[in-house]
Amino acid sequence: MIIAIDGPAASGKGTVARRLAEHLNHAYLDTGSLYRAVALSVLRAGADPSDAAIASAHARDLDPNLTEDPDLRSAATGAAASKVAAVGSVRSTLLAFQRNFAVTPPNTRPGAILDGRDIGTVVCPDADRKIFVIADRKIRAERRFKELLGRGEAAIYARVLDDLQERDARDSSRVDAPMRQAEDAMLLDTSHLDPDQAFECALAFVTSGTT
């Protein structure tokens, strides 16, 4: 089984995806970590993540170990990731890896769960189950704000909210693989759901009609 989970930043899709993967013993891929790794590589080189040629070069030479780097979750890396993800050649470079992971899950797992922005529409349009996770932007900003503070990063709520608005606009308006809900995806609004409730809703949908 292939499960595609999409949605904007801080919507809760990653939490839902990880819990589903653990519960179902499926392989899990946070595709955003790939773009964050490219972005982090570009930033550490002192380059512009919006530069298509530079971003593409870093995607081709990506060090997989960067997906485990502590700086991957910083606000700066997140903002840069949205920029490199808008580069078509970066997306095409990472697309093959994501699709291979989906159809050939590592460690002989019975299925794969991928979360990102375009999994259900571009990466795995034939996925068995698709979920599009959303939440009110102000609630998402509050979640991200608390997450940053929890990691010891200086953060201002108003700035976090502005950053999310900019990322949403960039992710949904980019020419190549814009973020949008697949027609056959379940819409899961986590604005007023705790993690357990969101997981239960997703699990009920994923297992519906299965034996």
Q: Enumerate helices (H) and strands (E) in the chain, giving the number of each.
A: 8, 5
Residue 121 pLDDT > 90, yes or no? Answer: yes
User: Has residue 109 been placed in a domain?
Assistant: yes
pLDDT in the model for residue 16: 98
* Structure tokens belonging to residue 8: 């904007």
- CB 202: neighbour CB atoms within 10 A? 27
This model's pTM is above 0.95: no
User: Has residue 170 been placed in a domain?
Assistant: yes
User: Has residue 181 been placed in a domain?
Assistant: yes
* Structure tokens belonging to residue 203: 């699990």
How many domains, the chain? 1
Contact, 38 vs 90, CB < 8 A?
yes
User: Has residue 201 been placed in a domain?
Assistant: no
Domain that holds residue 105: 2-195
* Structure tokens belonging to residue 141: 């900003």
Contact, 86 vs 2, CB < 8 A?
no
User: Has residue 208 been placed in a domain?
Assistant: no
Mean pLDDT taken over the chain:
94
Residue 64 pLDDT > 90, yes or no? Answer: no
The contacts of residue 88 (CB under 8 Å, 6+ apart) are 52, 175, 176
- Partnered with residue 132 across adjacent β-strands are 6, 187
Residue 129 pLDDT > 60, yes or no? Answer: yes
Contacts 24+ apart (CB under 8 A), 177-181: 177/91, 177/117, 177/118, 177/121, 177/122, 178/118, 179/6, 179/7, 179/8, 179/117, 179/118, 180/121, 181/6, 181/120, 181/132
pLDDT in tens, 138-180: 999 999 999 999 988 889 999 999 999 999 998 999 888 899 9
CATH number at residue 95: 3.40.50.300
Buried b / exposed e along 19-34 (16+ C-beta atoms within 10 A): bbbeebebbbbbbbbb
Alpha-carbon gap, residue 148 to 59, rounded angstroms: 26
pLDDT in the model for residue 210: 61
pLDDT in the model for residue 211: 44
User: Has residue 211 been placed in a domain?
Assistant: no
pLDDT in the model for residue 150: 92
User: Has residue 97 been placed in a domain?
Assistant: yes
Alpha-carbon gap, residue 154 to 10, rounded angstroms: 18
Residue 188 pLDDT > 70, yes or no? Answer: yes
User: Has residue 53 been placed in a domain?
Assistant: yes
CA distances from 123 to 3, 67, 82, 132 (A): 11, 19, 17, 14
Alpha-carbon gap, residue 48 to 42, rounded angstroms: 7
